[in-house]
Every structure is written in structure tokens, then in C-alpha cells.
Structure 1
Amino acid sequence: MRIDLHTHSTASDGTDTPAELVRNAAAAGLDVVALTDHDTTRGYAEAIAALPEGLTLVTGAELSCRIDGVSMHMLAYLFDPEEAELLAERELVRDDRVPRARGMVARLNELGVPVTWEQVMRIAGDGSVGRPHVATALVELGVVPTVSDAFTQDWLADGGRAHVEKHETDPFEAIRLVKAAGGVTVFAHPGASKRGHTVPESAIAEMAAAGLDGIEVDHMDHDDETRAGLRGLAAELGLLVTGSSDYHGSRKTVTLGEYRTDPEVYGEITRRATGAFPVPGTGGV
């Protein structure tokens, strides 16, 4: 059973539409795929309508959080998307993305980069605008060779020259909100140090005590040593271990299913969830 629990569509900062994403997941041989766009569930309906037979969709989102000045992402699975308190928090985070992106464009202009707001919005399309769209603009202008190269201290990484902060949820509040909406929480790529500062193990232990369900270990931004350390931490804290591609279509080099989650862990996630259930494909449209 091939399971990928972290992907993005054009509803946020991926390049595949939700329909294309599920079709590509089936073509890649996946049995289960999670749609986890940033702070939004807008891609659900299209993905479900196009879901091929033999592929199961896990609905979710990647929530933007911050603890002690460090940005982090929380994967939330199978929560009730209409639960009022969590919906309001997602909208608050999402609405702050536009002024933040405008601020990054302004800082880049101050640094002599001729990026425009119109260019960033063209790249974002109907998606929730974010740093990857600004990064793609830098690639288009030849400032950096790849999107990943834009996430450095020179440019868009946390604390970088063109970085602008946005509203982000306290992770303990995120855990509470997701749990109240019947969902399951997994700390996304916790050891991705090339993105900026990482959350200390002591804070992860506190999150585990507060109800965090798991940590994403097998990820393109984790080397072998980091993965081994995270597996040990998960065992110590009683956390589930997941693996996922963090697929963004052509915006990243990683492919669907390149990193995967063990079926037993997936089964435990579905057992813990009460807000929603995995959707089996019926052939799509």
C-alpha cells in the first residue's frame, strides 16, 4: 500500500489543480494521497469529484504556526472543515498572506530586484498567495536558479533580507483547534534546518504532551542523520512517524510517492480521526 500524506495543489502553492493532483497520484501508483494545501480546504470539492477509482483521498491542510519566533507547519488530517473556530483561524492566517506577499515584493524592490505584484499574482492564480509564488518570480527573473534557492538568508528564508512575517497560529492552539474539529495533527518537516531555525526537541515534547499525534520524518529536507534522530525522538515521545513527498508539482523536484507513510501508521491516523473520513475514489469525472 503506497501512501503519501503531504501534497499541494493550485488551491495554495502547488502547480497541479486538485483534479490533476489526484489523477497524477493514481498514475504514480499511489493508493492513498492527502491534499494538504496551506491554510485552506478550497481544493477538496474538485479533488473528490475527479478522484480515480482505486485511489483514496485524505482531506487535510498544512497550518502556518509560530513558536518562540520560529515558523513551523502543522499538518492537520480529517478534521471537520466547517468547524467554526478552526475555520476562522484558517481564514485569519490566509487573509494575512496578501499584505505579507506585498511586503516581500516591496523589500525585493528595495534590494534592486524588479519583481512586481502583478507578476506574483499571475503566478499565484487562484491559489492562496505565499512565499513560493514570490520565489517563482525570482526564478523567472533569473535571480535564483530554483525555488529552493530563494529560501535562503539572502532572500526569503525566515529572517532573510526580503522576509516578512505574517499571522501564524500558536502550535498549541492549532493542536487544540484541530482536535476539537475531530482531526489529527502531525508536525511537518521538523528538521528542515535549511529553511531557517527549527523548533527544539523540548518544545516538540511539550506539543506531544498537549496532544500532538505525530511528526513527519521521511521528507526531502531531512538527511539520514536527521531522520534517525527524529525516529528516536518519536519513539521516546510516543508519536506516530509519517513520510510524505510535500509535492508541489513542478515547483519542486520531488515526485508523488517519493516518500511514504507506513500503512499501520495511516490506519492509526484514520482510527483517531472523527471529523471526517477518507474518501474512496469512484472513477472521477
Structure 2
Amino acid sequence: MKKNHNNTDLHMHSTASDGGYRPEVLLQKCKEVGLEYIALTDHDTTSGVKEAIETGRKLGITVIPGIEFSTKYNGKSVHILGYGLDYNNEELCEMLKGQQEMRRKRLDVILVKLKDVGLDVTAEDVLEFVDGGSIGRPHVAKALIKRGYVNDVAEAFEKYLAEGRPCYVPKEKEMAPEEALNWIKRMNGVSIIAHPVYYDLDDWIETLVVDYGLDGVEVYHRDHTTEDRKHYEQLVQQIEEKHNISLLKTGGSDFHHEDYGRVPEPLGITRLDNYFAEQLVTKIHKKSR
């Protein structure tokens, strides 16, 4: 019988940001569905990476340390994935601590806006769902569900928390994509633009590659259709041929929990050939030399 090598997922979240499971529990779930390579890419924090790596060693899963930086470009939210970076670096940790503080201030403003529309939610209600990491709008959504104001996270965003809705609050200072790329480079990491179908910025991706050292594109995200995947495969190939360079293609489930996403799915549905993880690990080792 031919062995299945499609056991890689390079994009997932834990309770260190807005995921539903602690890193240890998340890794146990990864083991149950047969994943062999995973990357923990929490939003603006690496606080769950150590626990994930230690659990992965016990379970026989290779954990690639990662992060998903939240940035803004021309008014659009753009996420940049960083892999293999020095997550214990003091300078990086200090910067990320500042990001957490801004998220806490943002929460206070969101709570005021919720009160203005008649929804009584306290900081304690929200922090109940935060496991010492990044505070995000999904945590607010969970508090709204517990209070009985909405039925699920999707409804919370649609009515109150999404951009353009009455309780949306932008971050105090949005990091530019170039700044995130610079941090990843300084930490000897590998940079990938996440789920590019969200942005419609194909020409700009080439600029990030040529001018700022972007290492690749998340081609195989779970929200990418077959046509989207073919499109980004071709885009990567065009950039490579035009500039005589080699780029990485990555992908993953962007798993937070079973009810998350445009089309919710359980862990283990979106998965890649192990080749993609091995290519990423090889690139990380080259950067760290």
C-alpha cells in the first residue's frame, strides 16, 4: 500500500491568539488526524510556540515555529506569515508585547462601542477566552455568544465587529507589510504572504518579492478555490521566470476551531504534501546560517 505523504499543515492558530485550543491540545488533534508537519502561526505572538514544539516532540510531529503579522496596506488588512524566526529574541518579544498592549487598548474602545448599541459586555467577559496572548475580535465574539447576544462568531462579525460595522475599531498603529518583512528578515525567518485571494493585490506581490525580499506565497489556503490555486501557482512561476529567482509555495487550513471560516471545516481536511514542509525547513536552515 502506498504511504500517504499529504500530512502537512503550515497555517494554524491556538489560544495564544484567537484559536480554540491550547497548543498542547491542538497538537494532540493534529496527531489524531495524522499530521506530521505543522506550523503554529498565531496572530502577532509567538507565545504558544514553545509548548507546541515540546508537545510535537512527544507526539512525533515536526513543529515549525511561526507567526502571522497583521499589517495594513492602502487601507487593506494584509497578513504576513513568518516561519523559523528566532521567537525567543528579546527585541522581537518586546515589540510583540507592544502589539499586545495596543490590542488591549483596542478592546476597551470596542467595549464602549458595544455599550453604545445596548450590549453589556465587560473586559472580564472577553478575557475569559484569552489565554495570555493576543486579544482579538473573535474573543469579543465569544463573549457576545456567551451573553446570548448572537448565535455564533459569524453573526457577531456580521452585525457588530467586521470593518464597517458599528463596533469595529481599527488598531491604534497598523504595521506596514514592509515592516513585518523586515522583522522576519532580522530574525532569520522565511516570509510568506498569507491567503492572497483576500487582497486582490497581485502586482504588489511582485514588488514585495523584488524590493523587500518576500520569500513566497500561500498558494494552497483553505479558502482558495481550485481556480485560485492555479492562478497563484502561475503568478509565482511568472515572478520566478521574470526575475530568475526561486519562491516558496505554502498553504494550510488556517485552523482556529471547527466552526471557524467562510466554510467551516474540521482539522485535517486541508493538507499538503510533506514536500512543501521539507522545502520550507530547508529554506529556514539556509537563512539561519
The bucket for the TM-score relative to the shorter chain is 0.7 to 0.9
**Does the Cα contact within 8 Å between 1:3 and 1:30 map onto a contact in 2?**
yes
Most deviating of 6-15 and 237-246 = 237-246
Which amino acid is the alignment partner of residue 237 of structure 2?
Answer: A
Most deviating of 231-240 and 163-172 = 231-240
**Does the Cα contact within 8 Å between 1:183 and 1:275 map onto a contact in 2?**
no
Taking a change above 3 Å as real, the CA distance of residues 156 and 222 of structure 1, as seen in their structure-2 partners, is farther
User: Whose radius of gyration is greater, 1 or 2?
Assistant: 2
Matches within 5 A, 1:6-21: 6-21=11-26
Q: Tell me what 2:253 maps to.
A: 245
SS in 1 for 2:11: strand
Matches within 5 A, 1:117-156: 117-152=123-158, 154-156=159-161
Q: Tell me what 1:37 maps to.
A: 42
Q: Distance in 2 between matches of 1:112 and 1:230?
A: 44
**Does the Cα contact within 8 Å between 2:258 and 2:266 map onto a contact in 1?**
no
Taking a change above 3 Å as real, the CA distance of residues 227 and 158 of structure 1, as seen in their structure-2 partners, is farther
Q: Tell me what 1:207 maps to.
A: 208
Q: Tell me what 2:54 maps to.
A: 49
Most deviating of 64-73 and 251-260 = 251-260
Q: Tell me what 2:244 maps to.
A: none
Report the Cα offset of residue 88 of structure 1.
Answer: 3.4
Which amino acid is the alignment partner of residue 245 of structure 1?
Answer: S
Which amino acid is the alignment partner of residue 86 of structure 1?
Answer: L
Given candidates 253, 266, 272, the residue that maps to 2:283 is 272
SS in 2 for 1:191: helix
Which structure 1 residue ranges, 5 or more long, are not aligned? 193-197, 278-285
Report the Cα offset of residue 199 of structure 1.
Answer: 5.0
Q: Tell me what 1:281 maps to.
A: none
Q: Distance in 2 between matches of 1:156 and 1:202?
A: 30
Report the Cα offset of residue 96 of structure 1.
Answer: 0.7
Report 1 or 2 for greater relative contact order, CA contacts < 8 Å, sequence distance ≥ 6: 1
Q: Distance in 2 between matches of 1:136 and 1:276?
A: 39
Q: Distance in 2 between matches of 1:82 and 1:138?
A: 34
Mapped pair 1:230 → 2:232:
yes
Which whole-Å deviations, capped at 9, do the CAs of 1:132-153 have from their partners, x for residues lacking one?
Answer: 101222333444432133333x
Report the Cα offset of residue 116 of structure 1.
Answer: 2.2
Report the Cα offset of residue 225 of structure 1.
Answer: 3.6
**Does the Cα contact within 8 Å between 2:221 and 2:254 map onto a contact in 1?**
yes
Q: Distance in 1 between matches of 2:138 and 2:13?
A: 12
**Does the Cα contact within 8 Å between 1:18 and 1:46 map onto a contact in 2?**
yes
Report the Cα offset of residue 250 of structure 1.
Answer: 4.4
**Does the Cα contact within 8 Å between 1:3 and 1:261 map onto a contact in 2?**
yes
Report the Cα offset of residue 269 of structure 1.
Answer: 1.4
Which amino acid is the alignment partner of residue 262 of structure 1?
Answer: D
**Does the Cα contact within 8 Å between 1:93 and 1:169 map onto a contact in 2?**
no
Which whole-Å deviations, capped at 9, do the CAs of 1:6-49 have from their partners, x for residues lacking one?
Answer: 11111111121111111111111001111111111111222233
Taking a change above 3 Å as real, the CA distance of residues 146 and 222 of structure 1, as seen in their structure-2 partners, is farther
Taking a change above 3 Å as real, the CA distance of residues 215 and 155 of structure 1, as seen in their structure-2 partners, is farther
**Does the Cα contact within 8 Å between 1:79 and 1:178 map onto a contact in 2?**
yes
Structure 2 length-normalised TM: 0.85
Q: Distance in 2 between matches of 1:141 and 1:222?
A: 34
The sequence identity of aligned pairs, in percent, is 37
Q: Distance in 2 between matches of 1:60 and 1:122?
A: 25
**Does the Cα contact within 8 Å between 2:68 and 2:81 map onto a contact in 1?**
yes
Q: Distance in 1 between matches of 2:76 and 2:223?
A: 17
Structure with the larger helix share: 2
Matches within 5 A, 1:161-200: 161-166=166-171, 167-192=173-198, 198=199, 200=201
SS in 1 for 2:80: strand
Mapped pair 1:262 → 2:273:
yes
Structure 1 length-normalised TM: 0.86
Which amino acid is the alignment partner of residue 13 of structure 1?
Answer: D
